[in-house]
Amino acid sequence: MAIISSKQPTPQQPEDSAVDSLVDLLSDVQAELPIAPQKGRRGTTQKAEKALELPTPTENELLKGDRSAEETQKQEEKIRPQSIKEYVGQKDLKDVLDIAIRAAKARGESMDHLLLYGPPGLGKTTMSLILASEMGVNCKISSAPSLERPRDIVGLLMNLQEGDVLFIDEIHRLPRVTEEILYPAMEDFRVEITIGKGQSARTRSLPLPKFTMVGATTKVGALSSPLRDRFGLIQRLRFYELDELTQIVLRTAALLDTPIDHTGAEEIARRARGTPRIANRLLKRVRDFSQVKEDGTINQSIASEALELFNVDPCGLDWTDRRMLSVMIERFNGGPVGLETMAASTGEDAQTIEEVYEPYLMQIGYLTRTPRGRMATAAAWKHLGFEPPAGGQLNLLG
Ligand SMILES: Nc1ncnc2c1ncn2[C@@H]1O[C@H](COP(=O)(O)OP(=O)(O)OP(=O)(O)O)[C@@H](O)[C@H]1O
Ligand SMILES: [Mg+2]
């Protein structure tokens, strides 16, 4: 049961005025809504986004300050797809959601709770915003690190309206006490609050409107099973195919009034690690480059020249990916190497390695995980210009 520590009863506030305290508590809670703007997210994912940011902002860019941050945010919103139709790829996910949305609408009910998981930048937040707009409801956006205290989540829940989507990012990072408030909220649409302490403590069960919870996480394995089990739909987002990313680049370029041909878009897509956010980011870098160096349409040669300059190789590997692989090969003869050892040897954060770098390296077959640690595959050796060891050593499973 959720325990909310409220103010201690004072002599002027008799013990049985629990309802008054509740009203107090709720008004406090409403005054402190933790609805975080998307750009204000903290924690791993943000670190992760940072890790792949290209390039580091120049001093000049930094000096532009808040105004440019605001403009960037506006631009982000402009290029974010607004409907399922505009959302490229992820066919399985779209099919599942299309059915769920239509069925819920036909019944006049809210949709079942949905858990979206997958590496950063694949479109989890975008999909939950689309979901809310397709259902014709509001989407309240929050993130687990901003829901530290019980009153944060209670405030959020008490402010929901019938049918609303409540989006919680990085849901694997919810504190236990917050999670426990969510169990009855998700299952029975009620919130239980204990007012007062010790003998004067009373429990109130308050009804909530029917809402749809959408949780997003890059680490589905870190979710507790009681929480995971309360989601009716659990969907994985996968890396995008080359043609899907090419479409995304062409779409974004059109929205940004940037002339580009198909070869240019494909070159950017090829180096975007299967990730729309990176594709859009690379497009902006190439756009800057072509604006300064050339004029006219972005084509394959302009795109590849620009991306070489930004240290993104033809497979989309950046400096850190290559460093990780070369450390594994040169110092550990290709592995197996433990995650912590990798982190210490490369100076990268272990979580960032695990959540940001490894999924793509595994996807393209450059890295495998074995019971004894990570190994660079023969393809990785060749990509970095090394001769893979003879005798099938790379096939050893730990
Ligand atoms: N399917 C898609 N089609 C077109 N653009 C997309 C698609 N998915 C994502 N994008 C673009 O990529 C950007 C990143 O997507 P989004 O913020 O939804 O990722 P995320 O999965 O929530 O990432 P994180 O785990 O870091 O929160 C969006 O701004 C959007 O413009
Ligand atoms: Mg997100």
pLDDT tier at 254 (50, 70, 90 boundaries)? very high
**For residues 3 and 123, which has the higher predicted lDDT (pLDDT)?**
123
Read off φ and ψ for residue 195, nearest 5 degrees.
-110, 135
Q: Does the pLDDT at position 135 exceed 60?
A: yes
> Is residue 233 over pLDDT 70?
yes
pLDDT tens for each residue of 284-293: 999 999 988 8
What's the rounded Cα separation, in Å, for the pair 273 and 314?
Answer: 10
- Please tell me which residue, 56 or 310, carries the higher pLDDT value: 310
Q: Cα dist. 254→24, 79, 292, 295, 296 in Å?
A: 51, 10, 19, 17, 14
* pLDDT tier at 148, thresholds 50, 70, 90: confident
Confidence at residue 227, expressed as pLDDT on a 0 to 100 scale = 92
- Predicted confidence (pLDDT) at residue 20 exceeds the cutoff of 70: no
Compute the average pLDDT of residues 238-264: 95
Mean pLDDT of 117-133: 92
Ligand 1 site residues, Cβ closer than 6 angstroms:
45, 49, 76, 79-81, 87-90, 120-126, 169, 216, 218, 248, 276-277, 280
What pLDDT was estimated at residue 33? 44
Shortest-distance ligand to the CA of residue 277: 1
Per-residue confidence (pLDDT) for residue 323, from 0 to 100: 93
Task: Among 6-10, 276-280, 314-318, name the most confident range.
Answer: 276-280
Mean pLDDT highest for which of 47-56, 119-128, 388-397?
A: 119-128
- Residues present in the chain in total: 398
Mutate which of 88, 125, 243 to test ligand 1's pocket (most atoms within 8 Å of Cβ)? 125
Kindly report the pTM of this predicted structure: 0.79
Q: What is the largest CA-CA distance in the chain?
A: 83
Cα(46)–Cα(43) distance, integer angstroms: 6
- Give the residue numbers marked as catalytic: 124-125, 169, 218, 277
In terms of pLDDT, which residue wins out, 289 or 4?
289
**How many angstroms does the Cα of residue 276 sit away from the middle of ligand 1?**
6
Task: Report how far ligand 2's centroid is from the alpha carbon of 168 (Å).
Answer: 9
- Identify the nearest ligand to the CA of 128 by its number: 1
Say if CB 171 and CB 146 are below 8 A apart: no
Residue 76 CA, closest ligand 1 atom number:
29
**Is the pLDDT assigned to residue 23 strictly greater than 50?**
no
Residue 36's pLDDT is: 42
**Please, which pLDDT band fits residue 48 given cuts at 50, 70 and 90?**
very low
Report the residue among 46, 50, 72, 126 best suited for mutation to probe ligand 1: largest number of ligand atoms under 8 A from its CB: 126
pLDDT band at 17 (very low <50, low <70, confident <90, very high): very low
Whether the pLDDT of residue 60 is over 60: the answer is no
pLDDT in tens, 352-386: 998 889 999 999 999 999 988 999 999 999 999 99
* Per-residue confidence (pLDDT) for residue 391, from 0 to 100: 60
Query: pLDDT tier at 100 (50, 70, 90 boundaries)?
Result: very high
Q: Which atom of ligand 1 is nearest to the CA of 129?
A: 18
Provide the 10 A C-beta neighbour count for residue 82.
14
* Smallest CA separation from ligand 1 atom 29, residue: 80
Q: Which residues of 320-330 are buried (b: 16+ CB within 10 A; e: fewer)?
A: bbbbbbbbbbe
Measured CA to CA, the distance from residue 225 to residue 234 in angstroms comes to 12
